[in-house]
Chain A
Amino acid sequence: MNGYGYRLGAIGIISTFFIIIFSTVLMPMVLFRPDPTVTRNDYQAEAKVGDPTRGRRVYIREGCFYCHTQFTRLQDREYGPLVKAGDYVYETPHQLGTARTGPDLTNEGGKYPSEWQKAHLIQPRSVKPGSIMPSFSYLSDKDMNDLVCYLQTLGNKRTATQTAYVEAPAEYLNSTALGFALHERKHVDTNADASANAGRGLYTQNCASCHGLEARGNGPNSISLTKKPANFTRPFYKQYSDEMWYYRTSEGVPGTRMPRWELNLTEEERWYIVAYLKTLPKDVEATVDSIDQIDPIEQIRLPKLTKQQYEPHSGGSE
């Protein structure tokens, strides 16, 4: 090789490097700019009690992110809804984390009382026997209060305390731009018999193999599934709103074999399925053979829902 070859090599090294910098560092900064979602965390939820922003700095200083992550994955259960890109707009430096030696903290806010959190920081094994979390008893009272405040803001807008537990995520609701656009596009009347009838065909083709023809979660495939398909005749499902049904149908259920039907079915077809699912009977409901037997005053009474009922596999950690 002559001197020209080395020059070529040097140009090669430099240009390769800059192409890669361009494609994996600069391009994401330009192309990937998610809008803040309503479930983002701006650390203001507990601002009256302490200083969550300062608590976040304590969280970083004490290196919590080495053992606790802050993003939920599709297969994670008991850690709340799947995170969206816009949830992280105000997170600098990011605290996504790399290893879960302890539980995920994405939606930690509101899971435990603040007293519990503080006791857990001072001596983790006093409230969680067998925990290997180090004791942070050396933190000053102010540090600890702010840290607990920060923990309580985590995912606060995503938990049950502020909204009904079975409400669909914000982007399906009319209150957000995305949800509004969704409802603008929707032309299926989910209360109409014709829609339910159309949905029944789709249900038979796509859903019945697991959920069963009567939607009792006993389709032929359910035999081989560890996590059994949902029984839609349970009273629990009678509180589902259209948006919630649509959300579950579209995005599937994390941790189960329930697929993301948005990959296979059009929006119209999913709304038809929603219309059908709403007509399913309640399992204790007597079948009536005459319209006169129906008591028009009877209302469906919703049970008071706990997290265990919502996520049956939460393991009773509370």
Chain B
Amino acid sequence: MSGLLDKFLSNGEGSASRNFLVSALLWSLFGMGAGVFASMEFYNPDLVHNIPQFSMPHLRMFHVNAVTIGWLSMGYIGSMFHMVPTLCKNRLFSERLGNFTMWAWNLLMIGAFCTLLNGNTEGREYAELGAVLDVMAAIALCTVTFNVLMTVAHRRTKKLYVSLWYFLGSLFWFPLVYIIGQRTFVFLPGLNDAIIGWFYGHNILGMWFTTVGVGIMYYLIPRYTQAPLYSHGLSMLGFWGIALFYAPTGTHHILQSPVPEWLKAIAVISSIFLLVPVLTVLTNFFMTMKGKWGQGADDLPLRFAMTSALFYLMTCLQGPFQATRWINWYIHFTQWVVGHAHAALLGAFSFILTSAVYYALPRLTGREWHSQGLIRGHYWLKFIGFLIMYFSLTVAGLVQSAGWAMGIAVDQWANQLYPYWFVRAISGIMIVTGQAMFCYNAYRSLYSPRPVDVTAKTREVKV
């Protein structure tokens, strides 16, 4: 019995983190695969016929959920389970609880796979999961929060590093945002439903992906460059800025619908004010990187982190720009916004998570990466693939917005988008190939019967 318990709910140090990261890699293949499948159906709508599970909308909802809840969230939790104990010079409060959460989360993802592809959805964007899965996700999130909070409470350091601020803030905010945002058990009149829906839809990015991702950047960049953080004061300013300005921005997604004007005004103004924390955070990173940019040539995980920071800058300059009424008037409803969403989740946060996995897995398992060439290939495929995808979607969005603004009927310009759909599908294949190389690399590193590499980097802080 205890053998089984140790096998499935291991108490080994770092096992929860490792298992979370490996599961994240697995679900990333499903999520990105569904995405590229859906993108091919944009180019060839009769690609599959009469199979509801492969219908474009079903693939799309599974794509979004597998990539956000599966790949990014699981990877984030795995990274936190590695980074928080390191920063506290401590062990994770309970590896067993962590592994339990890992199983619950995987079960949740299996449930999402089984339901979403059949269209069993709540019909709320980013909150598609059904009632049972919502409850599971909420419980799993609260368990993670408890685990991390207890780890921090038992820390052996006096100061809390800024990454911990970000992690703790996110873990406090996000379960609440998730619970409020699901609206599973409440029936609000349409526009109130939309207001709360976009409060959630934007804050799953703002209070979870951004804040944890920035926390990981704060952890990784000084580690890679062996340089102290440029300014602790700036990092605090960035943290409070994000806490203050991110949460009320959700209504900018429905800026032209008949919701109250004061709410739109709050959303637009706080969207513009978001430039403050973003530029603060990035100034801090870039000053920390000062004189060390050359290291990215050799250090591949650092290169992922640098790319992530640059894409983060790009995304966050674009965001306030298109949240203003004048630009939103033109851009809304088009693929431009889809490009922006991919810039945030794929360009900025998927890259930083990839960097974190490349950093953490050797330290968790004591095994070096199987192949540096595969990492290189992964980087270039994902980098170039992302750029192609971003620009094809942005240009397609401009074609569409011209169509809407000039009042030309959809059938007259929809055919003009075929080249962009085609290029987008190609870029999707590149990205999925890169991710598959990543997963294969991880598989070979972790499971091939090789003697443990004694020179591999281990955790900095041994308990």
Beyond A6-B160, A63-B57, A130-B415, whether A125 also contacts B45 by CB under 8 A is yes
Contacts of A78 in B (CB 8 A): 407, 409
For the complex, give the distance between the alpha carbons of A69 and B251 in Å.
16
Segment at the interface with B among A25-33, A165-173, A278-286: A25-33
Task: List chain A residues, Cβ under 8 A from B176.
Answer: 17, 21
Contacts of A316 in B (CB 8 A): 409
The one of B120, B192, B247, B266 in contact with A32, judged by C-beta atoms closer than 8 angstroms, is B192
Cα distance A192–B259 when bound, in Å?
Answer: 39
Surface stretch bound by A, among B74-82, B183-191, B343-351, B445-453: B183-191
What is the bound-complex CA distance between A60 and B190, given in angstroms?
14
Contact A85 B258 (CB under 8 A): yes
The stretch of A99-107, A109-117, A149-157, A196-204 in contact with B is: A99-107
| Chain B residues whose C-beta falls within 8 Å of the C-beta of A17 in the assembled complex | 172-173, 176, 243, 247
- C-alpha gap A25/B201 in the complex (Å): 13
User: Min CB distance, B169 to chain A, in Å?
Assistant: 5
On whether the beta carbons of B263 and A28 are closer than 8 Å, the reply is yes
Q: Does A38 count as interface, using CB distance less than 8 angstroms? A: no
Asked if A247 lies at the interface with its beta carbon under 8 angstroms from chain B, I say no
A134's contact among B41, B257, B337, B405, by CB below 8 Å, is which? B41
Q: Are A13 and B172 in contact (CB under 8 A)?
A: yes
Measured between beta carbons, the chain B residues less than 8 angstroms from A34 are 189, 191, 258
Are A94 and B197 in contact, CB atoms less than 8 angstroms apart?
A: yes
Chain B contact patch, size range: 35 or more
> Contact at A20–B248, with CB atoms within 8 Å?
yes
**How distant is B45 from chain A, measured CB to nearest CB, in Å?**
5
The verdict on A90 contacting B189 (CB below 8 Å), with A75-B404, A75-B405, A96-B194 known, is yes
Q: Smallest CB–CB gap between B422 and chain A, Å?
A: 12
Interface positions of B from 393 to 447, Cβ below 8 Å from A: 400, 404-405, 407-412, 414-415, 421
Q: Is A16's CB within 8 Å of the partner chain B?
A: yes
Q: Max chain A CB contacts within 10 Å: which of B183, B260, B400? A: B260
User: B45: which of A20, A76, A135 is its contact (CB, 8 Å)?
Assistant: A135
Q: A128 and B411: CB pair below 8 A?
A: yes
CB atoms of A61 and B41 under 8 A apart: no
A64–B407 Cα gap in the complex (Å)? 22
What's the Cα separation between A317 and B408 when bound, in Å? Answer: 10
Q: How many of A's residues come within 8 Å of B, CB to CB?
A: 73
Chain A residue with minimal CB distance to B192?
A: A29
Contact A92 B188 (CB under 8 A): yes
- Is the Cβ of B400 less than 8 Å from the Cβ of A100? yes
Interface-lining segment among B121-129, B305-313, B376-384: B121-129
A271 interface residue per 8 A CB criterion: no
User: A91 contacts the other chain (Cβ, under 8 Å)?
Assistant: yes
**Min CB gap A220→B, angstroms:** 24
Taking a contact as CB atoms closer than 8 A, the residue among A14, A71, A77 that contacts B407 in the complex is A77
Known A103-B410, A124-B45, A130-B414; judge A28-B57 contact (CB<8 A).
Answer: no
- Does B50 make an interface contact (CB < 8 A)? yes
Q: Point out the residues of chain B lying under 8 angstroms from A71, CB to CB.
A: 256-258
Cα–Cα, bound, A252→B61 (Å): 39
- Which residues of the partner chain A approach B190 to less than 8 Å between Cβ atoms? 87-92, 94, 96
Contact (Cβ within 8 A) A65 B123: yes
Q: Which residues of B contact A96 (CB under 8 A)?
A: 190, 194, 254, 257
Residues of A near B61 (CB, < 8 A) are 63, 66
Q: What DSSP secondary structure best describes chain B's contact surface?
A: helix
- Residues of chain B within 8 A of A313, CB atoms compared: 407-408
B243–A61 CB distance below 8 A: no
What string of 1s and 0s marks CB contacts (under 8 Å) between A113-153 and chain B? 00000000000110010111111111000000000000000
- Are B45 and A83 closer than 8 Å at their CB atoms? no
| A259 at the B interface (CB under 8 A) | no
B97 at interface by CB-CB < 8 Å: no
- Cα–Cα distance between A87 and B248 once the two chains are bound (Å): 25
Q: Is the CB of A62 closer than 8 A to any CB of chain B?
A: yes
CB distance from A81 to the nearest CB of B (A): 12
Whether B257 and A315, one on each chain, are in contact in the complex, defined by CB atoms closer than 8 angstroms, is no
Report yes or no: A31 in contact with B408, Cβ–Cβ below 8 A.
no
Q: For the complex, what is the distance from the CA of A91 to the CA of B250, rounded to whole Å?
A: 19
- A residues less than 8 Å from B163 (CB atoms): none
Contact at B45–A132, with CB atoms within 8 Å?
yes
B42 part of interface (Cβ distance < 8 Å): yes
Interface residue? A95 (CB, 8 A):
yes
Tell me whether B293 is interfacial, beta carbon within 8 Å: no
Q: Chain B residue with minimal CB distance to A36?
A: B189
- Chain B minimum-CB-distance residue to A31: B260
Tell me the bound Cα distance from A272 to B46 in angstroms.
Answer: 58
- List A residues 42-82 near B (Cβ within 8 Å): 60-67, 69, 71, 73-78
**Chain A 272-314: CB-based contact to B (< 8 A → 1; otherwise 0):** 0000000000000000000000000000000000000000011
Contact (Cβ within 8 A) A93 B193: yes
- Give 5 A-B pairs besides A28-B192, A131-B414 with Cβ atoms closer than 8 angstroms: A63-B61, A91-B189, A93-B122, A134-B56, A314-B409
Could you list which residues of chain A lie within 8 angstroms of chain B, going by C-beta atoms? 1, 6, 9, 12-14, 16-17, 20-21, 23-25, 28-29, 31-34, 60-67, 69, 71, 73-78, 83-85, 87-103, 124-125, 128, 130-138, 255, 313-317
